[in-house]
Amino acid sequence: MQSFRTEIENPIVAKDIIELDKKIQLFYEGKIDEERFRSLRLARGVYGQRQFGVQMIRIKLPYGKLTSEQLHRIANVSDEYSRGRLHITTRQDIQIHHVSLDRTPELWAELEKDDITLREACGNAVRNVTASETAGIDKNEPFDVSPYAHAVFEFFLRNPICQELGRKFKISFSGTDKDTALSFMHDLGFIAKIENNVVGFKIMIGGGLGSQARLADTLFDFIEADKIIPVTEAVLRVFDRYGERSKRAKARLKFLIKDIGLDAFVKLVEEEQKALSTQSFPIDTSKFDSEIIVPAIEVPAVEITDNVAYDLWKSTNVIEQKQAGFSAIGIKVHLGDFYTDKARLLADLIKKYAGNEIRLSLRQNILIRHVKNELLPFFYVELQKLGFVEAGYESALDITSCPGTDTCNLGIASSTGISAELEKVLKSEFPQYANNKEIAIKISGCMNSCGQHSMAHIGFQGMTVKSGKLVAPALQVLLGGGVLGNGAGRVANKVIKIPSKRGPEALRTILNNYQDNVIVGESFLDYYDRQGEIYFYELLKPLSDTTNLVQSDFIDWGSEEQFEMAVGVGECAGVVIDLIATLLFESEEKLENAVGSLELNQYSDSIYYSYLSMVNTAKALLLAEDVKTNTHAGIIADFETTFASKIDLDKPFSAFIYQLQNNEPSLEFAQKYLADAQLFYKKADEFRASTLVDEA
């Protein structure tokens, strides 16, 4: 049962997994506060489910890349620890649901055998680094962004500066100006550019969706590729220090930039330059530049029985690669859900007949890469056996949806149920949209926009509506969002709220109106702008009437029982209610980490662990005085005011702790700063002990 303790080859990973196992046992024994334990498990990809007693496991897959071996490993793990279903997310992750908490360490250990991690897939950390799924094969890209996304993923995984942020932090890499990785809605979004033969990026900052969507600002129109990791580190340092921590709804980077202004934020970033672990980080792209290796096999003979269907599939699901003679094949995955039996067959197919690589897309689909053109008929026949040749990959017929009330604590109304109904409408009444890549339809079960409804051309958000004393599931209809390209985007307008059972009629009304009145060559967004929000409100207003609801309107899609709103405690942010004793214990752990990093000559990491220890310790003492501690900067300022005469440090606390800003990360400074942190902890602990004696 505990073999995972001896089977993990990487000692860093082994320590991580064993620590999770130990903390689970301490939690069961009541020795760890529930809120603190939640923060720890979230940072290790273990997320609470709507259903009692089971967890959702989120697997972190940088830029959605998977090999045959990794897909087999994930399928095996899902069968062993769950129910054989895999869910693709809008961040190119895979989620496995209904996992027992005490089995999560062994599950993680199994995944690591094929270099798959759970680390920082959830919680207040740098989440999965996403990228255009066509990166490396796109004819229009200036270069492949995959190695740069991978380098950012590796550099910040387990990096002390982003382990306990105020909230999650999202990064994306777009391969072209089409901005298919949606830089405008990310904390940091990178768009590939080449200027004067120099490889680099445009950087967008401070975007986000949710209940208060914000379009990103331009941080740099162009910056050299070797500067992207130092810039990211500086931004994370500032966010860690000044970002809100107590008010969850205001804790994202977008709110910090909105509050202090972009210019002030950039100034803070510039002030971090001296403290960075590196001023330049050249990124090795050689592993991604090598020639595509495809098994030398004889092309299997197949018979296409329906040439019309095959030609439609080729026109909607096949993408010609920039590599001559190769194509990529898109698989439309309904709701992002597929099963392990098909996953294994797909894994075998790409291993034997293609380049042994798939990418998961931001719209919850699968893209098979590096298929020889002469093998397309064979792949069509084989994928048809798996039910993977439905036309309309990444088209208007391809609805994006979060799991909603199926498994999520925050789900208000069913998003998967309405998605299925809307897809029926599209396939039966609007089949011509199979090749329409312009209109995106997205659905979320709540305001958090995991289904990205707030940036959709046509979006739906799960809500409730009252009718007398009863409550019915409802949908907020949003229109006019979308990607404009090169870092620009649009947030959709909230047009009207309707009962959920009228969702199909709303979609039908919108699309029929568009088809009947659009001018030749006019895009959906141009049409929406020409008609205006009020026009669509009036168009859909008859559907919002709640005086004529029938019994079925009070039953959500996919359910047989009367609707009842049941929203649990959300874990997206992993907000922690820290106890004083827990904080001081963590300060000791951070000092131990600082010592360990120093022994490994990781000076920058050691310095930051020392800094975090001092902040934690200061926060613990302030909490004992009932002083609010919303940000690191606030903790430092308030501690100096509150304890200047009580704890002697020979200098103001701000000058004592902010030494890390004014010194390069050398061995000498790392040693000195660690000694200072240890001294501060000793004095703070002594002060705390004397206070407790006085109180007694």
DSSP string of 398-436, one letter each residue: --EE--GGGT-TT--S-SHHHHHHHHHHHHHH-GGGGG-
Q: Which pair of tokens denotes residue 391?
A: 């036309």
pLDDT in tens, 583-614: 788 899 899 999 999 999 999 999 999 999 99
Query: Would you say the C-alpha torsion 82, 84, 90, 93 has a positive or negative sign?
Result: positive
| Angle, CA of 181, 460 and 547, to the nearest 5° | 170
DSSP alpha helix (H) spans, 518-575: 524-531, 533-540
Q: How far is CA 163 from CA 40, 168, 242, in A?
A: 10, 10, 15
For residue 246, pLDDT beyond 90: no
Single out the residue of 188, 305, 193 nearest to residue 252, CA to CA.
Answer: 188
- Across residues 569-591, what is the average pLDDT? 64
pLDDT in tens, 286-330: 999 888 888 888 889 999 999 999 999 999 999 999 999 999 999
User: Range with the lowest mean pLDDT among 278-282, 418-422, 579-583?
Assistant: 579-583
Single out the residue of 518, 441, 458 nearest to residue 492, CA to CA.
Answer: 458
pLDDT in tens, 333-382: 998 999 999 999 999 999 999 999 999 999 999 999 999 999 999 999 99
DSSP alpha helix (H) spans, 44-161: 68-81, 104-112, 146-156
pLDDT in tens, 387-411: 999 999 999 999 999 877 766 766 6
For residue 573, pLDDT beyond 50: no
Q: Specify whether the backbone of 105 is left (phi greater than 0), alpha (psi in -120 to 50) or beta.
A: alpha
- The DSSP symbol for 226 reads G
Rounded CA-CA distance 147/129 in Å is 11
- Across residues 656-668, what is the average pLDDT? 95
DSSP string of 616-679, one letter each residue: HHHHHHHHHTT----SHHHHHHHHHHHHTTTS--SS-HHHHHTHHHHS---HHHHHHHHHHHHH
pLDDT at 558 (0 to 100) = 79
Residues facing 46 on adjacent strands: 57
Rounded CA-CA distance 407/566 in Å is 12
- Which band of pLDDT confidence, cut at 50, 70 and 90, is reported for residue 564? low
- Residue type (1 letter), 548: N
Q: Is residue 331 classed as helix, strand or coil in its secondary structure? A: strand
- Across residues 556-581, what is the average pLDDT? 58
User: For the chain, what is the mean pLDDT?
Assistant: 91
Rounded CA-CA distance 459/490 in Å is 12
pLDDT at 1 (0 to 100) = 41
pLDDT at 575 (0 to 100) = 34
pLDDT at 258 (0 to 100) = 95
- Which band of pLDDT confidence, cut at 50, 70 and 90, is reported for residue 629? confident
Q: Classify residue 544 by burial, with Cβ atoms within 10 Å: 0-12, 13-18, 19+.
A: middle
pLDDT in tens, 74-113: 999 999 999 999 999 999 999 999 999 999 999 999 999 9
**Cβ-based neighbours of 65, under 8 Å, separated by 6 or more:** 146, 357, 358, 359
Q: How many CB atoms lie within 10 A of CB 567?
A: 15
Rounded CA-CA distance 336/64 in Å is 13
- Across residues 58-84, what is the average pLDDT? 97
Domains along the chain with CATH numbers: 4-112 (3.90.480.20), 130-287 (3.30.413.10), 291-385 (3.90.480.20), 400-554 (3.30.413.10), 580-695 (1.20.120.330)
- Which band of pLDDT confidence, cut at 50, 70 and 90, is reported for residue 568? very low
For residue 694, pLDDT beyond 70: no
